[in-house]
Amino acid sequence: MAYEKLIVCSNIFKKFGKVEIFENMNITIESNQIIGLIGENGSGKTSFIKLISGMILPDQGNIYLFDKEIKCEKDIIALKDKISILGDANRSLYWNLSGMDNLIYFWTVKTGLNKKAGLMLINELVDKFNMGSFINKKVESYSKGMKQRLLLVVALLGHPEILVMDEPLNGLDYENTVILKNYINEFVNKENGTVLLTSHNSRFIDEVCDTKFVIKNKRIEKISNVERGERVIVVYYKCLKNKDSCLNKYIREEREENIFRVETYINDKDFYKELSWQIDNGNIELLEII
Amino acid sequence: MNKNINLFRAELRRGMTLLKAYPLDTINNLISFTVVSVLIIIGINKIGEPQQIFSVFLFPIIMTLISGPSSSIRSDIEIGVFEQVYTSKYTILSVGVIRSIINAIFSSANSILIFAIVQLFFHNTKWKIVELLFVLVITVLTSISLGVFLAGLTIKFRKTETLLNLINIMALIELIVPFSAMSSNIIYIISAILPFSGIIVCIQNIYNKIANLNEIYLFGTTVGNLFIIIVFSKFVFNKCMKSAKIKGDLGNY
């Protein structure tokens, strides 16, 4: 079922003790977009995610998810499979189980279905996200990037319509940031999903998002639709394999031997896809993104 | 129903993987618990009445079920997966209760061992299947309900280990009190107030060869007590959950 407005919060007031988090806060999130929510530390980004996931209740106001008003626990449970929340990848996973055990467990927990029904999808996702080489190892041995990928797959297990990512860049290096950007674009373009990102890194939000909101003075304000092609991104990388096949369709110059500089528009999704593919296949090593 | 069976299987798989991952802890748990229980049984058998040792076999199951839901929440918080489990198809309560039942199945190995030791080396008593089932069902439901009560407190106050330890010690003490030696009226009053006491009287009656199924008042007070505990625990859990949501305590880890 297609919903035009996925999340509507109207006239939300929320206080924790004497601290006021939201005062008459309103926001409408439309489908099939990448939405960025920025704000200073402690401005209420995580509180907003908790509000829409039912982890905190508003003091006043109404929250509608998928055209349905959220009033009680039952309403939230009925919509839980439509929303997936990605927290910090260093937590959010059972570190004492293997990646595969985590996927099988969360498949049932997120969908209510048995292991058999999910194995095909799980294997598909493992292949798609290039996790075959480490999926049977314990999560405690994973790097941050591996954990982030696994967590993303966990989040995709129940075919959610909204992916909520709270500070997804925390601790991620350049390469994994590029891979993440590519996955986000794919989820929105190919699977008609919607992504809500929070970050205090406004550059990342500019690069990835279609619509940008800011939490300011206890309210959420829409800033503008980020215009594609407005800004330029510069990437320095080292070519590890065949240098002629690496990103050569972008403006490129060789700075030193095998070290290249490419330049393109900040929202060039094909560029991120190509870059992500090159990283995944070990063709290049990212040095710097400006 | 199917949904809960699928969760049960998933939790069982997870539990088995963890048991295999930590073999030393698994074996140590089985041996040390049985040794301590046998020592308690020997001590009570020397100084007390023989019927007092009869209920001790229930202790591993009671302890696991009481601590189950709250330790499930606490361990998810410590590992960091609480939010993932919270935003799943299940309530955190159903996840906690199913985990407790699985842990109780694992700890039933302790109970069977203790039961067998008592039957073989202390007093061989004939049990009727119906009586054994009644004892087990009431014990399991009472323990899970107390577990739900503690889970609510854990959501609100985070750390509840001291209260949990206190409840476990109280349960152990209760298991060895010679209730059946008291007068009928006192037994009825106690079994209406104290969790597990009705069941302990039933077990001691089995030893004393008193037919439990004729004791309609005892049956009534035991079931009534269970009903009150279930309602009270669910009420406390819901209140704590709502309060945590309003105050923003949920997920602040």
Å between B18 CA and nearest CA of chain A? 8
Question: pTM, whole model, 2 decimals?
Answer: 0.81
Non-local (6+) Cβ contacts of A239 within 8 A are A246, A258, A259, A260, A283, A284
Q: At what angle do helices B197-207 and B161-175 cross, to 10 degrees?
A: 30
Binary contact (B89, A56; C-beta < 8 A): no
| CB-CB contact of B190 with B197 (8 Å) | yes
Quote the pLDDT of residue A180: 79
Å between A125 CA and nearest CA of chain B? 19
Non-local (6+) Cβ contacts of A94 within 8 A are A101, A102, A105, A139, B14, B79, B81
Q: Which residues of B touch A80 (CB under 8 A)?
A: 87-89
Interval A276-288: pLDDT, tens: 888 878 888 888 7
CA distances from B59 to A81, A101, A127, A139, B112 (A): 39, 32, 48, 35, 11
Instruction: Determine contact: A56 vs chain B, CB below 8 A.
Output: yes
Quote the pLDDT of residue B138: 92
Quote the pLDDT of residue B97: 94
Interval B178-227: pLDDT, tens: 887 788 888 888 888 889 888 888 888 877 777 655 577 778 888 999 99
Binary contact (A93, B81; C-beta < 8 A): yes
Sign of CA dihedral B156, B158, B162, B164: positive
Find the range with the poorest average confidence among A98-112, A264-278, B41-55, B131-145.
A264-278
**Structural domain boundaries in chain B:** 2-251
Binary contact (A94, B14; C-beta < 8 A): yes
Interval A60-99: pLDDT, tens: 998 988 888 887 767 777 777 788 888 776 678 898 899 9
Q: For residue A23, with 0-12 CB atoms within 10 Å meaning exposed, 13-18 middle and 19 or more buried, which class applies?
A: middle
Q: Which residues of B touch A50 (CB under 8 A)?
A: 248, 250-251
Average pLDDT over all residues of chain A: 82
Confidence of residue B56 (pLDDT cuts 50, 70, 90): confident
Average pLDDT over all residues of chain B: 87
Question: What are the φ/ψ torsions at residue B165 (nearest 5 degrees)?
Answer: -60, -40
Q: Quick one: three-class SS letters along A67-90?
A: CEECCCHHHHHHHHHHEEEECCCC
Higher pLDDT, B192 or A179: B192
Q: How many helices (H) and strands (E) does chain A have?
A: 8, 14
Which residues is A163 bridged to in the sheet?
Answer: A84, A195
Interval A235-286: pLDDT, tens: 888 888 777 667 777 767 777 778 888 877 766 777 877 888 888 788 888 8
